[in-house]
Amino acid sequence: MDNFKIPKSRVYILLDSQNCITRIEGEYTLPNDLTGWIFVDEGYGDKYNLAQSHYLEGGLYTIEGICRYKYENGACMLRSEDEIAADIKALP
């Protein structure tokens, strides 16, 4: 039992055409087919196992249903207030 190691949990994201993060999944909810998904991080604990509710601060979407995060330069980044406001303005 001394050689037992807990494996790291992985986090993957899906993007739209403008590199906004539309889905994020941690180890517990990873799909079987990761085609099109981007690996972003790995580690231990709920942040990595339950990424939907623990990885990105404040949640993935605004109350209006607008993506709050984008993937840029190899990192998940909060979108600017102007970017979010423009998407809200474009809602039908």
Q: Are 33 and 12 in contact (CB under 8 A)?
A: no
Q: How many CB atoms lie within 10 A of CB 26?
A: 24
Q: What is the pLDDT of residue 34?
A: 96
Q: What is the pLDDT of residue 27?
A: 93
**pLDDT tens digits in sequence order for the chain, 92 residues long:** 567 888 899 999 999 999 999 999 999 999 999 999 999 999 999 999 999 999 999 999 999 999 999 999 999 999 999 999 999 999 99
The pLDDT value given to residue 5: 85
- What is d(CA 19, CA 21) in angstroms, rounded to the nearest whole number? 6
pTM over 0.95: no
52-83 residues labelled b (16+ CB within 10 A) or e (exposed): eeebbeeebeeeeebbbbbbeeeebeebeeeb
